[in-house]
Amino acid sequence: MSEFTNKVVWITGGGSGIGRALAHEFARQGAKVAVSGRRVERLEETVRHVENLGGEGLAVQCDVTDEEQVIIAIQKVVDHFGGLDVSIANAGFGVGGKVEDLSADDWRRQFDVNVVGAAITARHSLQHLRKTDGRVVLMGSVAGTVTQPGNGAYSASKYAVRAIGQTLAMELADEKVSCTLVQPGFVSSEIGQVDNEGNFHDEWEDKRPQQLMWSAEKAAKTIVKAIEKRKREFTFTGHGKVAAFFGKHAPGVVHHAITKFGG
């Protein structure tokens, strides 16, 4: 039996990319899976696949920038399944553009989803996770340790998520609830097809380096193992670990490399 057999897992941003893949992987391991997001049809598609895998699924529409919606979504999950064991703050997107080109609204939109959304998801999950000695998971990024031109807003949001994860792990140190900060490198998702307003464009090409890309399914298997082990901070892929190392320990080298050779 898996560690997650009959456990209740709630995933925000569960209609696509890593969130959807995590829902499928947890279902394979016998968990009861709830997914939230703005696009109901995508959530229902995820739930259908969860059920095809023999699991129990629940789709709950929720915009993480609205605290009341987050509170209602969590309560629906708890009422439906009887509790909450794992809460994954995965919802997020990227605002692109040079710092001098981004408006205040661009910055607020980026932080409202990636930072405030994650923090509020964690906040309102904790009262339920304490009852089950559960796990809270924050989806950061390698971009939270190293950035590049045109990626300042997204990186700033993930630097902030990293700070929240580190702080929350300290605040929970004397409790049985654990906090895992996940920092992926390049993983196949729809993030490259979403504009600065958060709108999805199916016709857009993902311009991230495909040769470095992990599949969402491979990433999900790796992430679930880290959650199971209650790792405090977990970085992957191989290139992601290298980038994060230099971002933390040799930022001058990163600056020189990117400004000299392009980024």
Q: What is the dihedral of CA 127, 61, 137, 32, to 10 degrees?
A: 80
User: Among 47, 235, 61, 207, which residue's Cα sits nearest to residue 139?
Assistant: 235
For residues 127 and 119, what is the distance between their CA atoms, to the nearest angstrom? 14
Active site residue 159: no
Q: One of 26, 154, 214, 236 is an active-site residue; which one? A: 154
Q: DSSP 3-state assignment of 99?
A: helix
For residues 138 and 164, what is the distance between their CA atoms, to the nearest angstrom? 9
Q: DSSP 3-state assignment of 114?
A: helix
For residues 244 and 137, what is the distance between their CA atoms, to the nearest angstrom? 19
Q: What is the DSSP letter of 97?
A: S
Q: DSSP 3-state assignment of 243?
A: helix
Provide the residue type at 224 as one letter: V
Q: Catalytic residues, which ones?
A: 154
